[in-house]
Structure 1
Amino acid sequence: MKKILYSFIISVIAIFVLNKIIYQEIPEKATKEQLSEIQSYKHPLKSISMEYRDNSDLKIFDTILKDNKVLILGENTHIDGSTSEAKSRLIKYLHENMNYTVVLYEAGQYDTWIMNEEMKHHKLKTSADSIGGLGLFGYWWGAKESQPLIQYYQKTKTTASPIELGGFDIQFSGSVLAFKRGKLLKDFLSRNNIDIKTFPILSKHTDELNNFIYKKYVSRVLKGNQKNELLQELTRLEQAVLKLEKTPENIIYARYFRDIKDNLTKNWKFKPGSMPSMHFRDSLMAKNLIYQIDSVYKDKKVIVWCANIHSFAERYSKDYLPLGAYIRNQYGNSAYIMDFSSYAQQNNNGSISDKPGKYAIENVFHRTKTPYFFLNLRNIPESSFLKKEFVSTINQKTDMKKNWSRSFDGIFYIDTNTVLTPIKK
């Protein structure tokens, strides 16, 4: 019994000593030079608030984005409240000082079009505090941190330089639009003398489209070959609308029918969240985004709002090429990719979570004792460790080792992020 006890004690001591060596001494020695480099390259930022009046800290972007056409703003996760605030401040500055007049979201192409039209014309009589919900996912409009930007968008609509909003996703995104979707579709077809009854499956299930993305639900409702027949109906509808006059409304509805078909195909064919599913979606988002940039908003500067993982300019895996890779291939260095990262997250109850593993670069960022800063990786020498492989939690707060400088151009660092604060009604 004593031998077992002694063996256990020795094992505990060995583990403690090993942890002491690995977790403290090695990182301390290895990060000294890294800390020095980061201190010399970082550009401190004074605030992330849209209400902050001194924009001298943001003037660095006047030079960095001087010849830019497309600016991609990522986010580590969709619930990062401080990141939402920082992006909002940056968008306001770029709109007022650098002539960026278009913001395109990782949200439904049709849904965001409806939202943008409602902000201009108010035909649907949607309240100002819910108007974002016509086009955006809830985390981009239904939180305290996101409402100031939604209000700013609406305010610009009455100025000589309005911000135009759009999207490039194939998914349904507007929860406020959910119960209006079927009626709007029927009204559009009626106005254009397209008989919905000639599309029997769609006609019968128009109000269920939001639920058809769920395999179990659609399998209960559609029998036999009806799923394929629905997809064929959507293709025929797209072709019918394409024959109409090329008005903005007709064009967006044709693209809407294609997006619905692609969205249903993605959800029926692939496992949710799998790399093949991500690849399928990103390839189609890229087509939509490039169309928006080159055709709808030609000669305008465009800001793209999406998750970090979609922004990456390098292949993520053998099964997944992110949206950013298509954009980099299309626009080269006139597209700048800025991703966001943090050391930790403060939850609504005040607790701190999501600290990085021992090798992550965010530990070194934290040691700079700088609440907010920006690193422009484009201007850092090739000899720097930042241009080689290093571990970061910039992808969904998961420790990953990559040559990150190939995936994005700049890092916006927020030391302690916060979670979004839902608006209570």
Structure 2
Amino acid sequence: MLKKGMSVLLTIVITLSIAACGKVETTEEWYDKNVDEIKSLDSEDYSDLEFLRPLLKDKRVVSLGENFHSVGDYRTIKTRLIKYLHEELGYDAIGFESGLGECEMVMNSKNLTAKQMMEYSILPVWHSQETLDLFNYIKEQKETDSPLDLFGFDMQFTSMYFVEYMAQWLEKVDEKVAEDYYNMEVEFFQSYYTLINKYGFDTGHREKYQKIIDKYTSDYDKVIEYIKDNRSTLEAIYRKNDMLVDSALRTLENRMNIVRMSMVDNVEGYEIRDVIMADNVKWYMKANPDKKIILWAHNDHIAKNTSQMLALENDEWVNSFVSMGELLSKELGNDMYVIGFYMQGGKASAITTQEPFNIPSVPKDSLEEIISRSGYKTSFVDLSQHKNKNKFNKWMFTNQYASEDGLTAEIIRSNVSQFIPKQQYDGIILLDQVSPPKK
């Protein structure tokens, strides 16, 4: 009986082994099984996005990156993804790489148009018709039982709306304090941007930036102390928003860090900023424990191990910085899903001038070219489920070159970034040909 059972078991094992050996998966078959097609950048029919449901339905955070800011099609598809995540998977907050205070004040305002909401809350680099579609949606959803909250996690100055709102708020308590605060903020930013426009982010002029810190630190400390001392009075003015005072405090407490970021080299400057951005995200999550959130930022801020990336700067490969994404990944682990965005070609707009330029074609065997072999116009590939390397997915586990703007450039450059894809992203979206934003 035992021998007969062993004989049957042996037969089964041999049969399975033969079947496995006989199943030869081709490269084309691998792409069919492992790369999903996103059929539209803007359709309200989300059936082609359903492959995302099992990957994202149980996450707390989904990060949407971009290898370059000024790409219209990125904004279009990200807006569609945000709507899908909100309507189908219950995500109810979208965080931007923009001012924390500005976003909070905008969401606390009732009579702004969608265009005003966009222009007052997020950095100008994203002001476009494509992004306006998202803000129309946010404004519409504010009136429903399932609003999509907007928050900022950056310490950078985004617009004067925070300053004006803050002055009006303080004025309800003390007109003189409000006037002094407003004048101080305006003077500070005039002094700071005069230096930035003259010297840029330059370690050679630290003493000039230090003078700004020395001059204004005590002024900001006084305003912060006043807000803390009058917290209950200020909170009573806007009873429905218990985050408003803390948003104001966090914004003002980081004013001098804007200056400090300008006094150091690029890597150190980014790290000052990204530590604060990660802290702002964690603060928002703690204050809203039931919310599922989406983050919108550059790939370099959301990737999971950016300090292991290499960036080509001045013809030398240098280590990138410890990013917000790396800090959050260590804390959130599998509760976060990170999606990097890349393109094969097309046109984009330069960061400062907004002049259109041609994106260089991606080189053969680059990350983008490898994914493009799917043949789709817009491809999504999940990396998170690939646990073992084989001949088809080995590119996920090995060093690859990709295109982006890098730490300092105004345009996209080919093969200026090196990294192991699986170390950085859970998924990647690749667009074929892209176009500049529509103003």
TM-score calculated relative to the size of structure 1: 0.79
The equivalent residue for 2:254 is 259
How far apart are the structure 2 equivalents of 1:388 and 1:45? Answer: 24
1:394, CA displacement in angstroms? 5.3
Q: How does 1:344-363 map to 2 (within 5 A)?
A: 344-346=345-347, 352-363=358-369
Output the amino acid matched with 2:298: A
1:294, CA displacement in angstroms? 1.4
Output the amino acid matched with 2:250: R
- Aligned to 1:369, what secondary structure does the other structure show? coil
How far apart are the structure 2 equivalents of 1:110 and 1:181? Answer: 6
- Aligned to 2:192, what secondary structure does the other structure show? coil
Unmatched 5+ residue regions in structure 1?
1-31
Residues 183-192 or 408-417, more deviating: 183-192
CA spacing shift, 1:337–1:53, aligned 2, 3 Å = same
Output the amino acid matched with 2:249: A
Matched, 1:372 2:357: no
Identity %, equivalent residues: 20
1:98, CA displacement in angstroms? 0.9
1:208, CA displacement in angstroms? 3.3
The equivalent residue for 2:333 is 332
Output the amino acid matched with 1:44: E
How far apart are the structure 2 equivalents of 1:270 and 1:69? Answer: 34
CA spacing shift, 1:299–1:181, aligned 2, 3 Å = closer
Q: How does 1:283-302 map to 2 (within 5 A)?
A: 283-295=275-287, 297-302=288-293
TM-score calculated relative to the size of structure 2: 0.77
Q: How does 1:20-419 map to 2 (within 5 A)?
A: 37-49=30-42, 52-118=43-109, 121-122=110-111, 126-140=112-126, 142-174=127-159, 178=160, 180-193=161-174, 196=177, 204-214=183-193, 216=195, 227-243=213-229, 244-245=231-232, 247-267=242-262, 269-271=263-265, 274-295=266-287, 297-316=288-307, 320-346=321-347, 352-383=358-389, 384-393=393-402, 395-396=404-405, 397=412, 398-399=414-415, 400-419=417-436
CA spacing shift, 1:231–1:219, aligned 2, 3 Å = farther
For the 8 Å contact 1:170–1:263, the answer to whether it is kept is yes
* Deviation per residue, 1:321-353 (Å, 9 max, x gap): 011011111211101101111111235999853
Output the amino acid matched with 1:409: D
CA spacing shift, 1:341–1:196, aligned 2, 3 Å = same
Residues 146-155 or 228-237, more deviating: 228-237
1:419, CA displacement in angstroms? 1.4
- Aligned to 1:165, what secondary structure does the other structure show? strand
For the 8 Å contact 1:340–1:394, the answer to whether it is kept is no
For the 8 Å contact 1:104–1:304, the answer to whether it is kept is yes
1:367, CA displacement in angstroms? 3.4
CA spacing shift, 1:386–1:372, aligned 2, 3 Å = same
How far apart are the structure 1 equivalents of 2:223 and 2:169? Answer: 12
How far apart are the structure 1 equivalents of 2:211 and 2:270? Answer: 26
1:381, CA displacement in angstroms? 3.7
* Deviation per residue, 1:370-410 (Å, 9 max, x gap): 10121110112421313322323254354133212111110
For the 8 Å contact 2:102–2:121, the answer to whether it is kept is yes
How far apart are the structure 2 equivalents of 1:406 and 1:418? Answer: 29
Output the amino acid matched with 1:48: L
- Aligned to 1:186, what secondary structure does the other structure show? helix
How far apart are the structure 2 equivalents of 1:136 and 1:327? Answer: 22
For the 8 Å contact 2:102–2:162, the answer to whether it is kept is no
For the 8 Å contact 1:104–1:166, the answer to whether it is kept is yes
CA spacing shift, 1:214–1:372, aligned 2, 3 Å = same
1:364, CA displacement in angstroms? 2.7
For the 8 Å contact 2:397–2:422, the answer to whether it is kept is yes
* Deviation per residue, 1:227-256 (Å, 9 max, x gap): 313123213322332332264332222112
1:56, CA displacement in angstroms? 1.5
Residues 77-86 or 228-237, more deviating: 228-237
Matched, 1:420 2:437: yes
* Deviation per residue, 1:122-172 (Å, 9 max, x gap): 2xxx443332101012232x3122221111111111111011101010001
Residues 370-379 or 202-211, more deviating: 202-211
CA spacing shift, 1:154–1:33, aligned 2, 3 Å = same
- Aligned to 1:213, what secondary structure does the other structure show? helix
Number of aligned residues: 372
How far apart are the structure 2 equivalents of 1:223 and 1:159? Answer: 46
CA spacing shift, 1:347–1:401, aligned 2, 3 Å = closer
Output the amino acid matched with 1:114: M
